Structure 1
Amino acid sequence: MSQHALPLTLGVEEEFLLLDAATGDLAPAAPQVLAAVGEEGVKSELMLYQIETVTGICADLEEVREQITELRSITAAAAARYGCLLVASGVAPGALLGLDYLTDDVRYRRLALRHAGIVAEAGTCACHVHVGVPSREAGLQVLVRLRPWLAALLALSANSPIAGNRVTTWASWRYRRWARWPSAMPPQHWHSTGDYDATVRSLILQGKALDERAVYFHARLSPRYPTIEVRLMDTCLSVEDTVLIVALVRAMTAAALEDIAYGRPAPRVPEYRILTALAAAARHGRQALPALPQRLLSAEPLASLLTELARRGTGAERQRALWESAGSFAEFANLLAEATLTPATRGIETDHAPG
Structure 2
Amino acid sequence: MEPFGGTEVDVRPVIGGAPARQARTVGVEEELLLVSERTGEPLALAPAVLAAAAAEPVGEGRALEKELHQEMVEFATQPHGTMDAVREELVRRRAEVARHARGAGALVAALATSPLPVQPSRNLGRRYRWMAEQFALTTEEQLTCGCHVHVAVASDEEGVGVLDRIRSWLAPINAISGNSPFWQGHDSGYSSYRSRVWNRWPSAGAYEPFGSAAAYHACVRDMVATGVLRDPGMVYFDARLSAANPTVEVRVADVCLEADTTVLVAALVRGLVETAARAWQEGEPVPAPPAALLRLASWRAARSGLDGPLLDPRTLREAPTDVVLGALVDHTEEALRDAGDLALVRRGLTDLLAKGGGARRQRDLYEEEHDLGAVVRACARITAGSD
**TM-score of the alignment, normalized to the shorter chain, above 0.5:** yes
1:322 to 2:365 alignment: yes
**Deviation (angstroms), 1:337:** 0.6
Range that drifts further, 323-332 or 252-261: 323-332
Letter of the 2:371 partner, please give it: S
SS at match of 1:301: helix
Does residue 158 (structure 1) correspond to residue 178 (structure 2)? The answer is yes
1:51-70 pair list within 5 angstroms: 51-70=73-92
- Determine the structure 2 residue equivalent to 1:334: 377
C-alpha separation in 1, matches of 2:68 and 2:170 = 25
Equivalence for 2:349: 306
| 211-220 vs 201-210, greater mean Cα deviation | 201-210
The structure-2 alpha-carbon separation of the partners of 1:242 and 1:48, relative to structure 1 and needing over 3 Å to count, comes to same
Looking at structure 1, the residues matched to 262 and 38 of structure 2 have their Cα atoms a distance apart, in angstroms, of 27
Aligned residues, how many? 339
Identity over the aligned pairs, expressed in percent? 36
Tell whether the 8 Å contact from 2:207 to 2:291 is kept in structure 1 after alignment: no
Partner of 2:5: none
Match of 2:35 among 19, 32, 40: 19
Other-structure match for 1:199: 219
Q: Which runs of 5+ in 2 are unaligned?
A: 1-20, 55-60, 313-323, 337-341
- In the other structure, the counterpart of 1:32 is 48
* 319-328 or 226-235, larger mean C-alpha shift: 319-328
In the alignment, is residue 258 of structure 1 matched against residue 274 of structure 2?
Answer: no
Distance 1:191 1:317, change over 3 A: same
Amino acid in structure 1 at the alignment position of 2:305: G
Report the equivalent of 1:138: 158
Equivalent residue of 1:25, what SS? coil
Give, in angstroms, the shift of residue 164 of structure 1.
1.2
Of 327, 332, 349, 1:296 maps to 332
Structure 1 residue 6 displacement after superposition:
4.8
Q: Report the 3-state secondary structure (helix = DSSP H, G, I; strand = E; otherwise coil) of the residue aligned with 1:228.
A: strand
Hey, what's the Cα distance between the residues in 1 that align with 2:127 and 2:309? 37
How far apart in 2 are the matches of 1:57 and 1:93? 32
- Alpha-carbon distance in 1 for matches of 2:102, 2:357: 26
2:127 is aligned, of 107, 111, 123, to 107
Conserved 8 A contact 1:15-1:52 = yes
The 1:187/1:253 distance shift into structure 2, 3 A limit, reads same
Structure 2 match to 1:353: none
Shift of residue 24, structure 1, vs aligned partner: 1.1
The answer (yes or no) to whether the contact 2:162–2:273 under 8 Å persists in 1 is yes
Q: Is residue 42 from structure 1 mapped to residue 64 from structure 2 by the alignment?
A: yes
Return the alpha-carbon distance in structure 2 between the equivalents of residues 6 and 200 of structure 1: 32
Q: CA deviation at 1:295?
A: 4.1
TM-score (norm 1): 0.91
Local SS of the residue matching 2:366: helix
Instruction: Give SS of 1:233's match.
Output: strand
Matched residue, 2:299: 279
Gaps of 5+ in 1: 345-355
1:82-93 residue pairs with structure 2 within 5 A?
A: 82-93=104-115
> Is 2:250 the partner of 1:242?
no
Matches within 5 A, 1:64-83: 64-83=86-105
* 1:126 aligned onto 2:142: no
Q: Deviations over 1:17-43 (max 9, x none)?
A: 101111111100111111222323311
Q: After TM superposition, which residue ranges in structure 1, 4 or more long, deviate above 4 angstroms?
A: none
Match of 2:204 in 1: 184
| Cα deviation, residue 315, structure 1 | 1.0
Q: CA deviation at 1:301?
A: 2.5
The worse-fitting range, judged by mean Cα deviation, of 154-163 and 101-110 is: 101-110
Question: 1:304 is matched by which residue type in structure 2?
Answer: R
